[in-house]
Amino acid sequence: MSVLPLVFTSGWASGINAYAVVLLLGFFGATGLTDEVPASLQRPDVLIVAGVLFVCEAVADKIPYVDSIWDSVHTVVRPVAGAVVAALLAGESGSLPELAAGAVGGSTALMSHLVKAGSRMAINTSPEPFSNIAVSTAEDLGVAGIITFAIFHPVAAAVVAGALLALGLVTVVFLASRIRRFWRRRALRREERRPAAAGVDRPPW
């Protein structure tokens, strides 16, 4: 069977949490649950680095505004990770050209990352931190669940990932107006806090 469904699913999941994808695939490969994972993802040093970065993301992802800063930094990291993982999976199976796999994995990761970043900006319009924690935890569990599901049922997992991606894109488009209003209000508040220039005495020269 072509590795394309696993490539697509891993790309979607990489856009949400690339470090979790590397950690899970490496673990499944190292434990012998699948032969689709290349040896480079099973190396102990790769798993240790992925584990440390996963913990860092798990913390940063649950703090309001810090999560949006983290997302902006990972606008490049997640698509690149999705492309690299996809190319490695394709090279291991030999059923899909690595360049094509990288394009699928990278573009899918970019779209899911934009969905995540956009939804987090909408969530940050609410001052309380509990929604960030709930959404972040749901994302982590969702990535773990769908990658595990993809190992045993790759086609079905790819269908689920595609549906989630489409739903997320629609949701972000729907929330775009709310995000714009929030940032407009913040800009107005900053302007109001500035001292009025007209009331400042200037020297005659």
The pTM of the full predicted model, rounded to 2 decimals, is 0.83
Contact 166, 158 (CB under 8 A): no
Q: What's the pLDDT at 157?
A: 96
pLDDT digits (tens, 9 = 90+) for 135-149: 999 999 999 999 999
What are the distances in angstroms from CA 205 to CA 69, 198, 201? 45, 17, 12
Question: Residue 172 is encoded by which pair of tokens?
Answer: 């972000």
Euclidean distance between CA atoms 46 and 51, whole angstroms:
8
Q: Which of 70, 182, 77 is nearest to 132 (CA)?
A: 70
